[in-house]
Amino acid sequence: MGMNGSPPRGRRAAVVAGLRTPFVKAGTDFKDLSAVDLGALVVNELVVRSGVAPKEFDSVVFGQVIPSTTVTLIGREMVLRTQLPRSVQAHTVSRACATSIQTTTDAADQIQLGHSDVAISGGAEATSDAPIFASRSLAHALVDLSRAKSLSDRARILSRLRPRDFTPVPPALKEPTTGLTMGESAEIMAQKNGISREAQDELAAKSHARASAAWAAGHFDAEVMHVAVPPRYERTSTKDNVVRGDTTVQALAQLKPVFDRKYGTITAGNASPLTDGAAALVLMSEEKARSLGMAPLGFVRAYAYAALDPKDQLLQGPAYAAPVALDRAGLTLADMDLVDMHEAFAVQVLSNLQLFASKSFAEKELGRPAPLGEVNPSKLNVNGGSIALGHPFAATGARMILQTLRELGRRKGQYALLTVCAAGALGAALVLERE
Ligand SMILES: CC(C)(COP(=O)(O)OP(=O)(O)OC[C@H]1O[C@@H](n2cnc3c(N)ncnc32)[C@H](O)[C@@H]1OP(=O)(O)O)[C@@H](O)C(=O)NCCC(=O)NCCS
pLDDT band at 171 (very low <50, low <70, confident <90, very high): low
Cβ atoms 79, 141 nearer than 8 A: no
Percent of the chain whose predicted confidence (pLDDT) is above 70: 97
DSSP, residue by residue, 101-126: HHHHHHHHHHHHHTS-SEEEEEEEEE
Query: What one-character DSSP code corresponds to residue 311?
Result: T
> 271 CB less than 6 Å from ligand 1?
yes
Give 81's contacts (C-beta < 8 A, 6+ positions apart): 36, 40, 44
Whole-prediction pTM value?
A: 0.94
| Helical packing angle, 346-356 and 317-329, nearest 10° | 50
Q: Predicted confidence band at 5 (pLDDT cuts at 50, 70, 90)?
A: very low
Do 45 and 52 form a contact (C-beta atoms < 8 A)?
no
Atom 30 in ligand 1: residue holding the nearest Cα: 268
Give the active site residue among 208, 219, 342, 391: 391
DSSP 8-state class, residue 357: T
Task: Kindly report, residue by residue over 27-46, the tens digit of the pLDDT.
Answer: 999 999 999 999 999 999 99
Residue 294 neighbours by CB under 8 Å, 6+ apart:
14, 16, 17, 51, 52, 284
pLDDT at 2 (0 to 100) = 43
Pairing of strands 24-25, 275-285: antiparallel
Ligand 1, atom 12: nearest CA belongs to which residue? 268
- Region 83-111: mean pLDDT is 98
Atom of ligand 1 nearest to the CA of 246: 24
Average pLDDT, the chain: 95
Q: Which amino acid is at 101?
A: I
pLDDT for residue 173 is more than 80:
no
Q: pLDDT value at position 372?
A: 98
Spatial CB neighbours of 261, under 8 Å, sequence gap ≥ 6: none
pLDDT digits (tens, 9 = 90+) for 357-406: 999 999 999 999 999 999 999 999 999 999 999 999 999 999 999 999 99
Pairing, β 298-307 against β 426-433: antiparallel
Residue 1, pLDDT above cutoff 70: no
DSSP alpha helices (H): ranges in 168-314?
182-193, 197-216, 249-253, 286-291
Judge if the beta carbon of residue 249 lies within 6 A of ligand 1.
no
DSSP 8-state assignment for residue 327: H
Contact 390, 23 (CB under 8 A): yes
**Active-site annotation holds for 208:** no
Residues 207 and 387: their CA atoms lie apart, in Å, by 7
Share of the chain above pLDDT 90, in %: 88
Beta strands in 286-404 (DSSP E): 298-307, 338-341
pLDDT digits (tens, 9 = 90+) for 285-304: 999 999 999 999 999 999 99
| E runs forming strands in 231-311 | 236-237, 275-285, 298-307
Q: Amino acid letter at 371?
A: P
Rounded CA-CA distance 163/15 in Å is: 54
**What is the reported pLDDT for 210?**
98
Residue 223 near residue 20 (C-beta atoms within 8 A): yes
Check if 342 is active-site: no
Distance 33 CA to ligand 1 centre (A): 22
